[in-house]
Chains A and B, each alone.
Chain A
Amino acid sequence: MIATDTQAACLGAILFTDLVGFTEFNDAVGDARAFEVLDLQAALAGQAIASVPGARVVKELGDGLMIWIDTADAGLSCALELMRSVERARATGDLPLGVRMGMHHGEALPRGDDLVGQTINIGARVADLAGPGELLVSEALVANCGDVHAATTLRPVGPVFVKGVQDPIWLHRVVDPA
């Protein structure tokens, strides 16, 4: 049973990942190989957040992951690390599909081990707009990052109208400085 007592809202960064074309890939190669790919994505994400306090995989969403990180700075670091490890796995051929990622920053309400709220909904929509190997972040995430990521190059994507949200969300594409 899910614990539904009222808990204090938490402030932080939400990162969504998604294996692009997973359903078609599963159809083409079968369940066993698809299972391996899911495992690899989970392992890469686990490595990326392992040493970051306040970071955890909230849940798996089919072929994607929902990851919470307590601060925007640490969140961006995790996402960049994951992007790099995915790229390495793609280069060696271990990972046959690209991973797209989206991040947002704001408050979320704990619901058992899960998190709910508009911050979560928007984060998921941001990821939907990314391409494989791409990380998109909201203006809210950028605004809450300190100087740590001053060297990170951001390219403007523009104002995006998200279903169910009245005002557009400004997005940026993150170019890995490494």
Chain B
Amino acid sequence: MTVEGGSSRLTVRVPLGSDVVVGAESGGVGVVGPLGHVSAVSRSGRVIVSDVTSADIRAESGRVEVDGCRGECVVRGDSGKVEITECGTADIVTRSGRITVSGVRGDVRAHCVSGRVEVDLDEAADVDAETVSGRIVVRYPRGVTPRRTDEDDAVGGDCVLHARAVSGRVTVGNR
């Protein structure tokens, strides 16, 4: 089923667990589950997604918030902040927007050019975090030690951390 809206507010109700694809030229997009896979694209305006199986979200300038994505969560942003709370795996990229990921149960990939990347893990998981000139902060639960790929003598570890900043700073610690 395809629904086309105009310039006014549009609300669509779908059966529980449906896959949803949303494209907006401008204005915010809100998707509230329980739903299956959600793809959402917005040129401007905030994108908010909650309680979905998996998500692919593209926002050129707006902020992105995901709360409750059981599987893979893919976000491509530009200047807006990206905030993920609770997801299976996270694959987040922005240009200058800040990335905040917490409550993740799987692996995390968080790349930005000049923004700040902040990853807060509840359990041991592999993290791939990159920035050119921004800052990276990764926090593990108490007792979890990552194997850092940027250290020549890296061995063992509960998980792998690839954190790279060309001219920025990387901070790794435990809560």
- Interchain residue pairs with CB less than 8 A apart (16): A20-B111, A21-B132, A24-B113, A24-B133, A28-B133, A28-B166, A130-B76, A131-B93, A131-B111, A157-B41, A158-B39, A158-B41, A159-B21, A160-B58, A161-B24, A161-B41
For chain A, which range describes its interface: under 10, 10 to 19, 20 to 34, or 35 or more residues?
Answer: 20 to 34
- The distance in angstroms between the C-alpha atoms of A171 and B41, with both chains bound, is 10
- The distance in angstroms between the C-alpha atoms of A134 and B132, with both chains bound, is 18
A96-120 interface bits toward B, Cβ cutoff 8 Å, 1 = contact, 0 = none: 1110000000000000000000000
- The distance in angstroms between the C-alpha atoms of A159 and B114, with both chains bound, is 28
B152 within 8 A of A: no
B111-144 interface bits toward A, Cβ cutoff 8 Å, 1 = contact, 0 = none: 1011000000000000000101100000000000
**With a CB–CB cut-off of 8 A, which chain B residues contact A159?**
21, 23, 41
Chain A residues numbered 148-178 whose CB sits less than 8 Å from any CB in chain B: 155-161, 168, 171, 173
**CB-based nearest A residue for B111:** A132
Cβ-defined partner of A173 (8 Å) among B21, B56, B113, B164: B56
Cβ-defined partner of B23 (8 Å) among A25, A161, A173: A161
Q: Is the CB of A28 within 8 A of B111?
A: no
**CB-based nearest B residue for A28:** B167
B contacts, CB < 8 Å to A: 21-25, 37, 39-41, 43, 56, 58, 60, 74, 76, 91, 93, 95, 111, 113-114, 130, 132-133, 164, 166-167
A29 within 8 A of B: yes
A83 to chain B, nearest CB (A): 15
**With a CB–CB cut-off of 8 A, which chain B residues contact A130?**
76
**CB-based nearest A residue for B168:** A28
A88 to chain B, nearest CB (A): 16
A20 to chain B, nearest CB (A): 7
**With a CB–CB cut-off of 8 A, which chain A residues contact B23?**
158-161, 168
Cβ-defined partner of B43 (8 Å) among A27, A97, A161: A161
Q: Is the CB of A24 within 8 A of B58?
A: no
**With a CB–CB cut-off of 8 A, which chain A residues contact B114?**
21, 24
Given contacts A20-B113, A132-B93, is CB(A161)–CB(B21) below 8 Å? Answer: no
**With a CB–CB cut-off of 8 A, which chain B residues contact A134?**
76, 93
Cβ-defined partner of B132 (8 Å) among A24, A155, A156, A158: A24
**With a CB–CB cut-off of 8 A, which chain B residues contact A95?**
none
A129 within 8 A of B: yes
Given contacts A28-B132, A132-B93, A168-B23, is CB(A157)–CB(B113) below 8 Å? Answer: no
